[in-house]
Amino acid sequence: MLPSIDNFFYSLYVLIFVQLLFITNYIDCLCKYYQNFAQNFDDQKSKHSTKFRCYIIVQNSPCKLKLLAFFFIILFSVEEIESAAVPPKFIKKITRIEVLEGNPARFDCKVTGSPRPEIKWFREDEEIESSPYMRIQSSPDGSSSLIIQEVFADDTGRFTVKASNPAGEVQSSAHLVVQGSHVCA
């Protein structure tokens, strides 16, 4: 079982925070090293050392604050992205199909949304599981198809495709009409 999105983002926040703590400690060490380096220049009466030391101290003293602010910006940006989810919308809805018994039938749809919507197929409100008889094909571009290999009279009915994500759910329904086969003698 895959971890939930919430657990994933929480783990990501913790990982980023730990990395930021490591980076700020590393920068503190660098600041101290450069301060000592500049101090040695002062001891040698270098005119540039004071400017160099001040530059390093001014540039790096608020490093922890900058990095922590960066962490919170990332945190709130991810929350904004999550809350800015786009509800699913059909670009192509399924349509009524009339087919002779014994022939294949195919329903096609295309959906957009962010995050990418989960697509499920139903026959008379009962979810369809992909099988050799009824195959479900989905593509990363939001296209999905329900392919019935060979239809029979009892396949006649209402078929529905539902697309859902955290921002909402949409559905499209159409009928499959199976006509009796005509045998010519």
**How long a stretch of residues is the chain?**
185
Does residue 70 contact residue 44 with C-beta atoms inside 8 Å?
no
Angle, in degrees to the nearest 10, between helices 5-43 and 47-60: 160
Q: Which residue has the higher pLDDT, 50 or 146?
A: 146
The model carries a pTM of 0.56
The residue ranges of every structural domain in the chain are: 5-83, 86-179
- Determine the number of helices (DSSP H) and then strands (DSSP E) in the chain: 3, 9
Examine the pLDDT at 63 and tell me if it is beyond 60.
no
Q: What is the pLDDT of residue 27?
A: 59
Could you write out the DSSP letters of every residue in 161-175?
EEEEETTEEEEEEEE
Does residue 53 contact residue 39 with C-beta atoms inside 8 Å?
yes
Q: What is the pLDDT of residue 173?
A: 98
Name the superfamily (CATH) of residues 86-179. Answer: Immunoglobulins (2.60.40.10)
List own/partner pairs for 13-18 with CB under 8 A and 24 or more apart. Answer: 13/75, 13/78, 16/71, 16/74, 17/71
